[in-house]
Amino acid sequence: MTDLTPISFTDNDIDAFASHKGRVAVIVGADGKLDRLARRVSRLTKGAVARLVAAERFGKMKPGDVATLAYPAGMEAEAVDVVRLSRGDDIAAARKAGAGLAKLRGKADLLVAAGGHARAAQLAFGAVMRDYDYDDQKSAADPRAGKIVVMCTKPDEIEAKAAPLMAVAEGAFLTRDLTNAPANVLTTTAYAEQIKEMESLGLKVEVMDEEKLASLGMRTLLSVGQGSDSPSYVVVMRWGGGEKDDAPLALVGKGVVFDTGGISLKPGAGMEDMTMDMGGSAVVVGVMHAIARRKAKANVVGLVGIVENMVSGNATRPGDVIKTMKGDTVEVINTDAEGRLVLCDVLWHAQEAYKPAAMIDLATLTGAIIIGLGHENAGVFSNDDDLCDAFLKSAKAENEGAWRMPLGKAYDDLLKSRIADMKNIGGRPAGSITAAQFLKRFVKDDCPWIHLDIAGVASVKNETALAPKGATGWGVAALNRLIADRFEKG
């Protein structure tokens, strides 16, 4: 896993600024008043900080914006970064500020003069989250360098506040690494083995192979992977931090390590991006890592279906009818609508084996959700208003875009098949909704459930607020917060 940038929290020390050789950041509120640390830096720079704050440029800056004074006279630093961040600014602004500083620092050491600012831990989180680069496949990758030091009034308190945030950052980095990894590296077997290694965090991990899956009746999941030489797996991760008898939250993820579309072959242009089709499972793995690292007082079980959808003489054909673990039959109209075939069996097994208090699945499921919501929001489908509202609240608090979409019988009717219990697609209209309706058939009436279609947010072509282009780690922070707010005790 890509390591977090080393970060530490120290007491305020006004004598440290003059000799710091990397970058120095000071924080100034909208009122333009300099605290003791900022005044010291301003004096060292012959008043340059004060002049910048008094200038029109600072007045036009938004909360979390950063302005740079390069190679300041009177200091050894290569730059002084002035952050506009008031005490009343929200978490998103603080994280934006940290991300901005991380982008600017390059490989230089960064000293942040946070003083008594209430958002110091959140600023540190933003900096660490943005300071990410996936270079595992580069033969001459530059070694990661530099560190971040946050100078603050009560370093022990700020470090304690930052600790669970760093656990979330680790989980997000793991999600990004998995989603960015090419399919010849992250094979189905390599993926299962990597998850198994998470037992070192205190998770209980079970890897179910094809023989076990066949005995359980997971025929639809196995049908997706039967065209590949790589074996299919379901991996179960269990975290028991809550009361022994408390029913767990179940997280279920689609883990298609590469998706050719099967016999319903995808167009060649852009197919290389289908290494990210296991993004839903990567979020589940990242969340499980995060809650284990911070020792969450909740019971959570994560289940991921790991397959590869390839073309061969043994691949599932359009027109085939397959019996699900639940017992319903599915007419496969399009083999490129494979994610729902993976998820339906895992959803059913999750309920049968673990009797969850609630269940959330994540998948890069449909291109239709990108048409509807772009790359700003994941599609949220649910059979339970309370659970859905709680998740949307968590996503908003973490600034991870999510938008609720409808469900209904009219959409469900589009899945009717002439020869089987259902088809696996309902046509082009409302494609993301009919996909959710398909999954809903495998959710028991008494199980609160959310389906998250993350096709538009799992991996993007442009940088986001806290991530460079590529895999984003979307969902790790929101689901971690949901677990903390709704499922943890004590």
In angstroms, the first-to-last Cα distance of the chain is 31
Beta strands in 333-383 (DSSP E): 358-363, 378-382
- On whether the CB atoms of residues 480 and 290 are closer than 8 A, the answer is yes
Q: Are 52 and 58 in contact (CB under 8 A)?
A: yes
> Which segments of 19-90 does DSSP mark as H helices, in order?
36-44, 48-54, 56-60
Q: At what angle do helices 279-293 and 155-180 cross, to 10 degrees?
A: 150
Strand (E) or helix (H) holding 171: helix 155-180
Residue 337, Cα to own-chain centre: how many angstroms?
A: 23
For this structure, is 266 an active site residue? yes
Q: Which residue has the tokens 């899956």?
A: 213
Helices (H), strands (E): how many in the chain?
16, 19
340 belongs to the catalytic site:
yes
- Residues 6 or more apart from 236 whose CB is under 8 A from it? 205, 206, 208, 301, 302, 303
Q: What residues does 233 pair with on adjacent strands?
A: 306
Specify whether the CB–CB gap between 263 and 318 falls below 8 A.
yes
Catalytic residue among 23, 340, 441, 481: 340
Tokens of 109: 């050491």
d(CA 152, CA 121): 10
Q: By the 8 A CB rule, do 437 and 349 touch?
A: no
Which of the following is catalytic: 103, 154, 238, 266? 266
Alpha helices, DSSP H, located in 366-440:
368-373, 385-397, 409-412, 431-440
Give the side-chain half-sphere CA count within 13 A for 49: 29
Please say whether the beta carbons of 77 and 20 come within 8 A. Answer: yes
Residues 6 or more apart whose CB falls under 8 angstroms from that of 489 comprise 242, 243, 246, 297, 298
Q: Residue for token digits 């690292």?
A: 293
CA gap 466, 203 in Å, rounded:
28
Nearest to 277 by CA among 290, 296, 261: 261
Of 459, 457, 441, nearest to 449 by C-alpha is 441
Ramachandran category for residue 331: left, alpha or beta (phi over 0 → left; psi -120 to 50 → alpha) = beta
Cα separation of 279 and 275, whole Å?
9
Q: Which residues are catalytic?
A: 266, 340
